[in-house]
Structure 1
């Protein structure tokens, strides 16, 4: 994307084409202008347009350019935060409400894919959170207990069943979550865009917002070549925010993350490695993730950026790791590589912000964007439609606050990942 082979990698190569769009030129008006063409903005555009609301969506680059087109493709339920900690972090009024929305969020993703016939390689056989050692297993035991008391369809698997499902003896157990699954993330974003346009939304790519103002009660959103006058602005730029809402980016500590895709595995190997296509990640501090795509490519990722010395360090580590996890694969060849950035908030939970009268947005998905983004987009649409009040939202209103030592932390994460992977899996 934008002539960068390492920005979207396999996903750009295998996703159906994006809808034909053009930059915004000239002056136009709408009921709502949405800034950002990721899951949140596209979901909001779709849900508003389906209700007859006049919507214009502005995307600075291309549909799914940010995290929506670069992520692993795990449709996770909930967040990194333990379920019982939601009320502690958000208060009783919002805690369980947010947990219920996010825990059941993958069901809305499935519903939209089915309703709009989105070709995005959807798999609904769950995800496996894989325990590394006794410490990892204890963490998953507690996570399972907290979800199960709320009736969630999660099951703690022992080491033998984990090995049967994954094809490796590396883990002491795993938490199977049947709410979750996998998809082709860029294909899903493009599918939402097609559906939103069909419903009546107008989408303009190559249209970065450079300035906003207000006149005669209308919001004015300006790009290099045009402007939109609207009653509402939805800000859905998240970790890739620039321009008038660059403070959203500054609120988050960027964690780099990369993915590598093998060539399609043989039918024999596919029978022994993730035969049910669950999406996986482990309990290590510098975690790894892996899943299978529709063609049988194993997509393997971890913390780090594929630039400079990181390219060789991370790819060499990945080969060593896969050889340990799945020795049956032999020498692995990668046919695609890409990376992006995860925006981490200080409590690993999303934020709801108001940037002025009728200027609102959710952000801070902490690497869990597919389901939360889709659901929060619908929530924003319902709020603008008057179906829910601000007090009914799943998150409290918060002010944008920049964490201390943000730039130092970001440099540390990138360098630390290289150190961990340079030394990792050598013995």
Structure 2
């Protein structure tokens, strides 16, 4: 998943209706649904963690059972630390289980912009690290035999306009200079890869791929547990207190005394640490999946690359292992069966693939992205022995995995100077409330406009 730097301005007349439509339950799932996402049901990986039933003493407590938390636990356990993961709901409940499943390289920003914002040395190190991020994730998938429908055919950043193609050309030029296996696709080449003539070209990144995101996060949990980490679900941390020699984390099932703590809650951060959830702007991203379409989609994404576009309110599209088309965009699911989000999806598929014909939809869901003003992630030192990597801006899979490994390296004798990002203190995102409300209204209005 990725996130543009600006949001499409929408007519004011749509705003009132948009605000009314986005008043959704915080469950983040469709009304009546008991699952997190389609991936919850289709994942071959099945993982059951145990609840908290007694007090625990550990070297490292990790709050959050997503990519960052479980990667931290896996790598820390492999290095000999006793690690304990506390997840309030189920493994992959947050963004990790609701992800689009595009295993992309780098960040949303072009590499030259990352260097400009961070400085040459630090920027180059981050670009190199995350450029190799998909390769590292794939190595973990192979090493631990994680069943997550991995494809290695790349992803395509599709140009929604001529200006979008110009932006992709700039990105391609720099990635090629750095030796990355990327290719700028002409309009005709993009149409062949995607199966639609709606785009002005694209950027194919051979480093990337697609996964079943819930399968991957459950596989990380299985691998972490096999390495010796303890994992508890249904273990919401209600209080975090500093004490002599470390921290005390309280849950309804017991307390955890830990020497160090990693808060790996990202976009699902709550009030456990004061001010943390004010340090980013939450953005919803929704997806709608068709029923399996079989031979009808043989010419759509025939090599199964996932795509996302250069639009200011971007959308994504992929074809899963069962030949479903899964289309998504910024915003929340609005309505259930035959609701606004399904009408939006039907209209977009008709626009992209006019020969496809009517389709039925099987599932809809949405999740949250933690967006920062400069579209760069953060690593905050909140207190002695208390860290949080946060703000992936829609690039959770590879950065979450890599940042988790980096946290484990730090807490087993590494240096803060070797982390992917310079460690900073936490500060609130300016005008967070106003931005959140505007984005939600704009995204809902976008669904209405594009459903007509």
For 1:314 and 1:284, locate their aligned partners in 2 and report how far apart those are by CA, in whole Å: 18
Alignment length (residue pairs): 424
User: Secondary structure of 1:285's partner?
Assistant: coil
User: Secondary structure of 2:443's partner?
Assistant: helix
Asked whether 1:408 is paired with 2:434, we answer yes
Deviations, residues 211-248 of structure 1 (Å, cap 9, x unaligned): 12233313211112211112111111111011323533
1:213 alignment partner in structure 2? 241
For 1:30 and 1:183, locate their aligned partners in 2 and report how far apart those are by CA, in whole Å: 32
Match of 1:339 among 343, 354, 366: 366
- Whether the 8 Å contact between 1:155 and 1:175 is mirrored in structure 2 is yes
CA displacement at 1:20 relative to structure 2: 2.2
Asked whether 1:266 is paired with 2:294, we answer yes
User: Secondary structure of 1:245's partner?
Assistant: coil
- Whether the 8 Å contact between 2:45 and 2:147 is mirrored in structure 1 is no
CA displacement at 1:311 relative to structure 2: 7.8
- TM-score normalised by the chain length of structure 2: 0.90
2:169 alignment partner in structure 1? 141
For 1:9 and 1:39, locate their aligned partners in 2 and report how far apart those are by CA, in whole Å: 16
1:350 alignment partner in structure 2? 377
Match of 2:255 among 221, 227, 231: 227
Question: Pairwise mapping of residues 10-25 of structure 1 onto structure 2 (< 5 A)?
Answer: 10-16=38-44, 18-25=46-53
Stretches of 4+ moved more than 6 A in 1?
none
CA displacement at 1:421 relative to structure 2: 2.3
Question: Pairwise mapping of residues 184-199 of structure 1 onto structure 2 (< 5 A)?
Answer: 184-199=212-227
User: Secondary structure of 1:402's partner?
Assistant: coil
For structure 1, which runs of at least 5 residues remain unmatched after alignment? none
For 2:242 and 2:429, locate their aligned partners in 1 and report how far apart those are by CA, in whole Å: 30
For 2:262 and 2:74, locate their aligned partners in 1 and report how far apart those are by CA, in whole Å: 13
Deviations, residues 96-143 of structure 1 (Å, cap 9, x unaligned): 111111111011110000000000000110000001121111010001
For 1:284 and 1:311, locate their aligned partners in 2 and report how far apart those are by CA, in whole Å: 25
User: Secondary structure of 2:423's partner?
Assistant: coil
1:81 alignment partner in structure 2? 109
- TM-score normalised by the chain length of structure 1: 0.95
**Cα gap change, 1:304/1:127 in structure 2, threshold over 3 Å: closer, same or farther?**
same
1:314 alignment partner in structure 2? 341
2:417 alignment partner in structure 1? 391
Question: Pairwise mapping of residues 23-422 of structure 1 onto structure 2 (< 5 A)?
Answer: 23-245=51-273, 247-267=275-295, 269-307=296-334, 312-386=339-413, 388-422=414-448
User: Secondary structure of 1:94's partner?
Assistant: helix
- Whether the 8 Å contact between 2:172 and 2:203 is mirrored in structure 1 is yes
Deviations, residues 65-122 of structure 1 (Å, cap 9, x unaligned): 1100001000111111121111222223311111111111011110000000000000
- Whether the 8 Å contact between 1:249 and 1:343 is mirrored in structure 2 is no
- Whether the 8 Å contact between 2:335 and 2:341 is mirrored in structure 1 is no
CA displacement at 1:377 relative to structure 2: 0.5
Task: Please report the RMSD computed on the Cα atoms of aligned residues, expressed in angstroms.
Answer: 1.8
For 2:379 and 2:337, locate their aligned partners in 1 and report how far apart those are by CA, in whole Å: 34
CA displacement at 1:4 relative to structure 2: 5.8
CA displacement at 1:409 relative to structure 2: 1.4
CA displacement at 1:263 relative to structure 2: 1.0
Mean Cα displacement is larger for which, 274-283 or 43-52? 43-52
- Whether the 8 Å contact between 2:45 and 2:146 is mirrored in structure 1 is no
